């Protein structure tokens, strides 16, 4: 069985440094996603619900090249022991940043399709909150 991959690209009116802060700093991540205890850097991480404090996701940061690329493994309880990979790429463009997301390694099949749909919608919602916050700053 092969895997599903989610891909998103957004344009943000912010510098790559500002976008990087939203991808790696706990206080900025808490605004649009989940909150880690420490800045995301190479090594293991856990993220918690900003309101609930519950552990929601965990994994390892594989690549942390400031203002260019962030890559980490991604596991959540509904995935069981399955590990997927999230890759963010930042590209400076005139007027801001083009931010690309690739979430790969998602299980395929009818029984896993609901999870893929939920993650697809979740990324849309999270990225929309990031955009709103960055554009209000």
Q: Where are the domains of the chain?
A: 3-107
Closest by Cα among 34, 99, 95, 115 to 67: 99
CB 57 within 8 A of CB 34: yes
- The tens digit of pLDDT for each residue in 47-88 reads 998 888 899 999 999 999 999 999 999 998 888 788 999 999
- Tell me the pTM: 0.93
Q: Over 80: is that where the pLDDT of 129 sits?
A: yes
- The tens digit of pLDDT for each residue in 8-25 reads 999 999 999 999 999 999
The DSSP bridge pattern shows strands 35-36 and 3-12 to be unpaired
Per-residue pLDDT, 59 = 96
Calculate the CA dihedral of residues 20, 23, 25, 28 and round it to 10 degrees: 100
User: For residue 127, what pLDDT band results from cuts at 50, 70 and 90?
Assistant: very high
Residue 21 region by backbone torsions, left for phi larger than 0, else alpha for psi between -120 and 50, else beta: alpha
Is the CATH number 3.40.50.1820 carried by domain 3-107? no
Q: Over 90: is that where the pLDDT of 4 sits?
A: no
Q: Over 60: is that where the pLDDT of 1 sits?
A: no
How far, CA to CA in Å, does 56 sit from each of 85, 93, 112, 136? 16, 33, 19, 27
- The tens digit of pLDDT for each residue in 84-113 reads 999 999 999 999 999 999 999 988 888 888
Give just the sign of the alpha carbon dihedral 135, 68, 8, 59: negative
């Amino acid at each position: 069985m092969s895997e599903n991959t989610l891909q998103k690209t957004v344009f943000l009116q912010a510098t790559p440094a500002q976008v990087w802060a939203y991808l790696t700093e706990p206080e900025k991540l808490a605004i649009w996603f989940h909150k880690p205890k420490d800045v995301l850097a190479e090594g293991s991480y856990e993220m918690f619900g900003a309101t609930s404090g519950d552990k929601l996701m965990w994994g390892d940061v594989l690549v942390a090249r400031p203002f260019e690329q962030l890559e980490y493994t991604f596991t959540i309880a509904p995935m069981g022991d399955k590990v997927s990979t999230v890759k963010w790429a930042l590209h400076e463009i005139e007027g801001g940043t083009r931010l690309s997301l690739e979430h790969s390694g998602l299980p395929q099949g009818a029984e896993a399709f609901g999870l893929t749909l939920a993650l697809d919608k979740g990324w849309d919602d999270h990225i929309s909150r990031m955009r709103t916050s960055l554009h209000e700053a």
